[in-house]
Structure 1
């Protein structure tokens, strides 16, 4: 997959948006281009941001080369450096910038460049605060602020769980901070919970939701559930390092109402043509065959007779059986394996309409199971929530694949010793039991699957068969963008000094086990 990734400098990108003064009379009027307005309605920012967030998170480059490799859902069968944890510098540079400043790789590929970073979400918030009257033309301003803030938190959590300390409190303010400081992960997490509390307090389900909302169509009752579900995730992630804040925020979110069925899932719906999922372009349009089913994931599904198996992978064409490619082969060994001899990602995986999953109901049930085991106030019935999480995942994926699993299929699966919550075969402790099933349910949400492995320590993931190329083990974080060392060197150095070496083996604040 030899395709250049163009780096857009974070500070350069933002700097070009600053209006410079001029002594020439009527300069602004003379130089106003009606075809390229300085600002657009918030609905444009929101639609573009949602598309860009989905594209950048679930595309081939970040979603698959990084996320699905780290979670070991897929194996590389050509350029296997990512399977062995040597990530290209321009890949990290590009996405570190994209997540902040917007733009996306899929947009460049299709010729329909979208936005999709914190910059656009912040613009919505700023517009609503500075001009609530004008902003109200595309939805109740407080609801717009709430939606943009929740998406901010969703993205920032993904980012801090990838790198650790980040520019947060001073980020995206080029007029005052062209070299923003890095906030610690503990500071960021406290800030994310505070942001969610503020956003949830602003939601008014009796007023109009935002125009341009491609996830929930402006339904603020669903955005409220999303916000509480996300708050549960943010809270539970810090359970081992700030138990008091974790339990307080988690129970608040549960009591306020989170997802209670797959109908609530936060999905970005793709379609045909330029609206297709970016994975579709890799396989169907570009005719690439860069990935196969990872033996780590596939072998688990086969052993358990998992109903989701055909949703994730196809049978090897040479044998009409499910065969995973050994994870982490050298390029020579990977290239020597015939594509026909191993299972490829499923037709669903490469379909134009495969949705981007921002968050789903299955995750909520698994979190409730864990909270019950941790003894969080008012939450009980770990096995019931675990079973509900597995059921929700199976129902979601098999329905999406066009062959819904029957209740008998699901109950049979749950009764197997390797799945049954009461059986030691499903895990030595609750973290293993919940973690293993949550990992399966997070298929194609690679960063989340990798994060749960780091947090719950449920095993399963294995070292690359032909060795690690960067470090000695499975990464516990990624290295910062190389450009940060030159563009923001002082604050980069302070971050490394406080967090630990800029290595893939350095553990994040919440990763204490």
Structure 2
């Protein structure tokens, strides 16, 4: 009941006036039919599943970040594609991230300390760091320190984005120290099935991601993080078989995208990415896009982002392409970090002078890994990576890596949105009928419940970061 109580507080269904009687309510409202000492394996599975569903689901992925980075577009109900949102539009990532992700993971960490099961602690720290990264990447300043002790701080203060990233790097370093492949096994792990060696690589891959997130602001810190990873020696995700992802199953445990397309038909693939894949003769086109239902000259037809409803629907439901069947399948995975991303990150780290290596070779390997991830043949891979348009440009690593990473991250809306803002490639154009005066979104707005339930902390965050609007750049997003 205590976890349920915290969830209610965070989700906005209870007023701040109840804070003074928190202890009494928790003591009184005990469910005699529910355990008060949850098992870490159940909590772990729940935290992974709930976060993955939110990360890959409608509000944050399909109706926001996939549109912002122009992977998908809307053919009906086009307001989100035109950047028209309410202060409740971005509630899910915040509410579920904290209440069903961080709260559960905090409990696992406490149980692991009490029961001397360090592998549970290490895994929970990795996952909690991922959830916090999703939150700060999208909103900017967020509650971090006090949200870890939510029993004590019912209206947690916000931490500056820089401080959040730095704290997460410390947490991931601590996770590495806890994770022991020869230690006691864990249960409930639906990502790696108790392969602790893979969890150590996942932790380092996430450290690499965050190090690059801060690289334009804090290059010395980023370089030190990568040196620490090298000294620690566990390495990074090193094959497509080690991708950090959640594998879904048949209904009712199907991929959220598959679930939505069972009953709705208002999304199409964006013209922006279809045009780019055609331009590069990219063999991932039939993976990312479905053929039009009615025959068309090009077979794959995307629609421009941000059309008015009438203009979008006039293009024809049967003459425009849905996303590819790979992504619509019930068992399609929710990818957290791919091998291709890790290789692109290493290529960038070399280009920035953070680590030794061959940036061009790592860049090419990253493209190859992405193509292999989708079953592209070796012959087609060779043709593609050797084409002039795909060659690495050492004079502008952000352009080369940014464009190809954008293609490789297809489907991972939140991560692609963060990387597009950081690298400034591809150079996307605002929605056709966008509502932001020819600008594009560069963050999520805070949920409206924060203004009503955590108003003092919310106002302090806005005063520090800037107006709570879609066009306020975050700390990591250096123009």
Q: TM-score range by the shorter chain?
A: over 0.9
Aligned residue number for residue 124 of structure 1: 108
How far 1:474 sits from its partner (Å)? 1.0
Alignment of 1:149 with 2:133, yes or no, is no
Deviations 1:260-288 (A, max 9, x none): 1111101101111212111111112x2x1
Residue in structure 2 matching 1:434, options 396, 401, 407: 401
How far 1:338 sits from its partner (Å)? 0.9
Contact 1:314 1:347 in 2 (8 A): yes
Aligned residue number for residue 381 of structure 2: 410
Alignment of 1:293 with 2:269, yes or no, is yes
Gaps of 5+ in 1: 1-6, 103-116, 134-140, 398-403
How far 1:158 sits from its partner (Å)? 1.1
SS at match of 2:444: coil
Aligned residue number for residue 32 of structure 2: 33
Deviations 1:126-185 (A, max 9, x none): 1222x316xxxxxxx111000001001111111101010001111153432111111001
Alignment of 1:302 with 2:278, yes or no, is yes
Q: Note closer, same or farther for the CA distance 1:304–1:212 as it changes in structure 2 (3 Å cut).
A: same
Q: Separation in 2 of the partners of 1:511 and 1:222? A: 30
Q: Separation in 2 of the partners of 1:355 and 1:18? A: 40
Q: Note closer, same or farther for the CA distance 1:11–1:463 as it changes in structure 2 (3 Å cut).
A: closer
Q: Note closer, same or farther for the CA distance 1:225–1:348 as it changes in structure 2 (3 Å cut).
A: same
Aligned residue number for residue 176 of structure 2: 200
Contact 2:109 2:120 in 1 (8 A): yes
Q: Separation in 2 of the partners of 1:362 and 1:98? A: 28
How far 1:69 sits from its partner (Å)? 1.0
Q: Separation in 2 of the partners of 1:296 and 1:22? A: 52
Aligned residue number for residue 239 of structure 2: 261
Aligned residue number for residue 3 of structure 1: none
Alignment of 1:75 with 2:73, yes or no, is yes
Deviations 1:73-124 (A, max 9, x none): 000110111111122432322332111112xxxxxxxxxxxxxx11111110
Give the number of equivalent residue pairs.
465
Contact 1:149 1:195 in 2 (8 A): yes
Contact 1:370 1:430 in 2 (8 A): yes
Q: Separation in 2 of the partners of 1:329 and 1:226? A: 39
Q: Separation in 2 of the partners of 1:168 and 1:156? A: 8
Residue in structure 2 matching 1:328, options 306, 325, 337: 306
Aligned residue number for residue 474 of structure 1: 440
Q: Separation in 1 of the partners of 2:475 and 2:31? A: 48
Contact 2:12 2:453 in 1 (8 A): no
Q: Which deviates further from its counterpart, 409-418 or 157-166? A: 409-418
Contact 1:232 1:254 in 2 (8 A): no
Q: What is the aligned-residue RMSD (CA, Å)?
A: 2.2
Aligned residue number for residue 252 of structure 2: 274
Residue in structure 1 matching 2:449, options 483, 487, 496: 483
Aligned residue number for residue 454 of structure 1: 421
Aligned residue number for residue 354 of structure 1: 332
Q: Note closer, same or farther for the CA distance 1:311–1:195 as it changes in structure 2 (3 Å cut).
A: same
Deviations 1:14-54 (A, max 9, x none): 9899663799xxx89xx6523x2223211000001111111
How far 1:60 sits from its partner (Å)? 2.3
